Amino acid sequence: MTERQTEWDAVKQSMADAKPVRLGRHVGYWFHATPRRALYATSYAKFAAKMIGRGKRVLDIGCGEGLGTWLLAKECGAARGVDFDAEAIEVAQANWSQEPGCSFSCGDAFELEGGSYDAVVNFDVIEHVYPEHAGAFLDGMLRLLDDDGVVVIGTPNETAKQYASAVTNAGHVNLYTAERLEAELRARFEYVFMFGANDEVVHTGFAPMCHYLLALGCGKR
Amino acid sequence: MSDRSEKERWDGVKDLLGDHPVTLGGHWSFNLRNDPKRLAFVLSRYKLAAKLACKDRSVLELGCSEGIGTPILAEFATRYTGVDFDEDAIATARRNWTDPRFEFVAADLTQERLGRFQTVVSLDVIEHVEPEREAGFFQAILDHLTPDGIAVIGTPNVTSVPYASPQSQIGHVNMFSAERLAERLRERFRFVFPFGLNDEVVHTGYSPMCHYLVQIACGPREVPRD
């Protein structure tokens, strides 16, 4: 055996104890249908984590399979993921429940109790909430938030609808423009900072050309 | 085919541009001659501040120099006041930017008050403030903010010192890490959001490797008193 092989075996051995991660139906679909989607979703979660900072308790509403929740727990200190999809929560728990600070529960976003989180986030959720329920959904986020807490909401831009797949459009009943998302948050927060993303790049460019919207709110009213 | 030649069409476009020549002052003439790409880096910081903290708000720029960032900060602001203690720079700013919504003042804001603003932007200033006067700098910002105020502070990262030009090294007497800047701001604001820049690219990457730091602070802890 060459010296190089021996070294690589040592590297491999150091990683051998990592528990295998099993991607479920949703993230598995990303990898099969639009593999870059995993990059974008991870980038949004990282952006939120950096805005939230360290030593914080985060609630991730509509966490799906919990990859973003785990990233938030790892970067911010602790995160709880909630989703009404029991199958997704099973995948999330199997993969990440044993990691420090990371927990999940199956539940309805409208019925969550027990607030005072330092941050409440959701990605790719509000566009699935019927417009007549969206106000209650946002108010629910506020109830769960500490006075000094921040929210981060990510959702595809309405202007990108024309390019979305049939599968994607089937679920999207409430797409936002940057203006509407900002207005809904301004009604609830003293400060709102709007970002856009194209692919994995988060920026502050011209809103109608952003593929994805990321809104940061703080100072709850 | 058009009845106008390409040159005639271009001349028509030129007529639409108006005639607003700008003569830069000593600071920016030096920058453009020595390191023209720096213009992109600096304007990018201004755009970040403008997009996140200046729309529909009154804006004070503390340390505006020749006003190179004024048009960007003021574009969507309700009003803009640029302040600098360098009278020559303020004279250049006044000569170049004559929009009646812009105001330029030669003053030291640790000594004078100019009223309250919803946003205070200060880029490339704090690294020139002697550490013993640093608290006065932050107080000057708070003294000019409304209770719903936002402060945008930008400064080169302390980790970039080894690569700085001799001019920069002489002037930079108080370099910050992202951690120290966030600490100073958190003492005074409820919320602090940290960004980094490498060249003109704004991001949220690993802070020791950011060349430049911009932090957005909001929710002043002290209710301002006059």
Residue contact B191–A47, C-beta within 8 A: no
Cβ contact B224:B147 at 8 Å: yes
pLDDT at A162: 93
Q: From the candidates A191, A198, A201, which should be mutated to test the interface with B, based on the most B CB atoms within 10 A?
A: A191
Q: Is the pLDDT of residue B1 over 70?
A: no
The model's pLDDT over B148-158, given as tens digits with 9 standing for 90+, comes to 999 999 999 99
Interchain proximity A218–B191, CB inside 8 Å: yes
Query: Nearest by CB to B51, which of A50, A204, A218?
Result: A204
Whether A58 shows a pLDDT value over 80: the answer reads yes
Which residue in the block uniquely carries the two structure tokens 């991607």? A23
Q: Which residues of A touch B203 (CB under 8 A)?
A: 202
Asked if residues B166 and B154 have their Cβ atoms less than 8 Å apart, the reply is: no
For the beta carbon of residue B161, count every other beta carbon within 10 angstroms: 13
Q: Which A-chain residues 91-130 have CB contacts (< 8 A) with chain B?
A: none
A169 shares contact with chain B (CB less than 8 Å): no
Interface of A with B in 202-221 (CB under 8 A): 202-204, 216, 218-219
Strand ranges for chain B from DSSP E:
58-62, 79-84, 102-106, 117-123, 145-156, 189-198, 201-203, 212-220
In percent, the amount of chain B with pLDDT more than 90 equals 77
Q: Phi and psi of B177, rounded to 5°?
A: -90, 165
Q: State residue B223's pLDDT score.
A: 62
The rounded distance, in Å, linking the Cα atoms of B93 and B87 is: 10
Which residue of A lies nearest to B207 if distances are taken between CA atoms? A50
Q: How confident is the model at residue A19 (pLDDT cuts 50, 70, 90)?
A: confident
Confidence grade of residue B77 (pLDDT, cut at 50, 70, 90)? very high
- B79 vs A10, residue with greater confidence: B79
Handedness of CA B179, B184, B185, B186 (dihedral sign): positive
Task: Indicate the residue of B194, B203, B219 with minimum beta-carbon distance to A191.
Answer: B219
pLDDT digits (tens, 9 = 90+) for B93-106: 999 999 999 999 99
Nearest to A56, CA basis, from A82, A81, A76, A80: A76
- What whole-number distance in Å separates Cα of residue B205 and Cα of residue B211? 11
Q: Kindly tell me if the per-residue pLDDT of B224 is higher than 60.
A: no
Q: How many CB atoms lie within 10 A of CB B28?
A: 21
Instruction: Calculate mean pLDDT across residues A17-42.
Output: 89
Does the distance separating the beta carbons of A191 and B218 come in below 8 Å? yes
Q: With contacts defined as CB-CB under 8 Å, which chain B residues touch A202? A: 203-204
- CA gap A179, A182 in Å, rounded: 5
> What pLDDT is attached to residue A1?
62
pLDDT at A17 over 90: no
Rounded to the nearest angstrom, the minimum Cα separation between A4 and chain B is 31
Please, what is the average pLDDT of chain A? Answer: 94
Nearest CA in chain B to A215: B52
- How far apart are alpha carbons A216 and A149 in whole angstroms? 11
Q: Does the pLDDT of residue A7 top 90, yes or no?
A: no
Mutation pick from A193, A201, A216 vs chain B, by most beta carbons of B within 10 Å, is: A193
**pLDDT for residue B225 is more than 70:** no
CA atoms within 13 A on the CB side of B64: 33
Say which DSSP state B6 is in. Answer: H
Q: How far apart are CA B182 and CA A51, in angstroms?
A: 12
**Residue B202: closest C-alpha in chain A:** A203
Chain centroid to Cα B175, Å, comes to 17
DSSP state letters, A37-49: HHHHHHHHHHHHH
pLDDT digits (tens, 9 = 90+) for B175-215: 999 999 999 999 999 999 999 999 999 999 999 999 999 99
Judge whether B65 and B105 are in contact, CB under 8 Å: no
Are the beta carbons of B191 and A150 separated by less than 8 Å? yes
Please say if the pLDDT value at position A114 is more than 80: no
Judged by CB atoms closer than 8 Å, whether chains meet at B47 and A204 is answered as: yes
Q: Is A3 or B83 the better-scoring residue by pLDDT?
A: B83
Quick check: A54 and A42 in contact, CB under 8 A? no
Mean pLDDT of the A103-121 span: 90
Write the single-letter amino acid at A210: C
Q: What is the phi-psi region of residue A19: left when phi exceeds 0, alpha when psi lies from -120 to 50, beta otherwise? A: beta
Of B52, B148, B192, the CB nearest to A193: B52
B190 and A193: CB-CB below 8 Å? Answer: no
The pTM is what? 0.89
- Cβ separation of A202 and B47 shorter than 8 Å? no
* Among candidate residues A214, A213, A196, the one with its CA nearest the CA of residue A205: A196
Q: Which residues of B touch A194 (CB under 8 A)?
A: 51-52
Give A154-186 pLDDT, tens digit per residue.
Answer: 999 999 999 999 988 999 999 999 999 999 999
**For A49, which residue in chain B has the nearest alpha carbon?**
B204
Give percent of chain A above pLDDT 70: 100
How far B32 CA sits from the closest chain A CA (Å)? Answer: 25
Task: Give the pairing type, strands A189-198 and A201-203.
Answer: antiparallel
User: How far is the C-alpha of A150 from the C-alpha of B152, rounded, in Å?
Assistant: 18
Cβ <8 Å between B216 and A193: yes
> Residue A118 pLDDT more than 90?
yes
Question: Residue B2 above 80 pLDDT?
Answer: no
Query: Which residues of chain A lie closer than 8 angstroms to B47, CB-CB?
Result: 204
Å between A174 CA and nearest CA of chain B: 25
Asked whether B65 and B89 are in contact (CB, 8 A), the reply is yes
**What is the model's pLDDT at position A164?**
92
Structure tokens that stand for A84 in this block: 């009404």
Yes or no: say if A194 and A181 are a contact pair by the CB < 8 Å rule.
yes
Q: Which positions ≥6 away from A153 have C-beta within 8 Å?
A: A121, A122, A123, A126, A181, A185, A213, A214, A215, A217
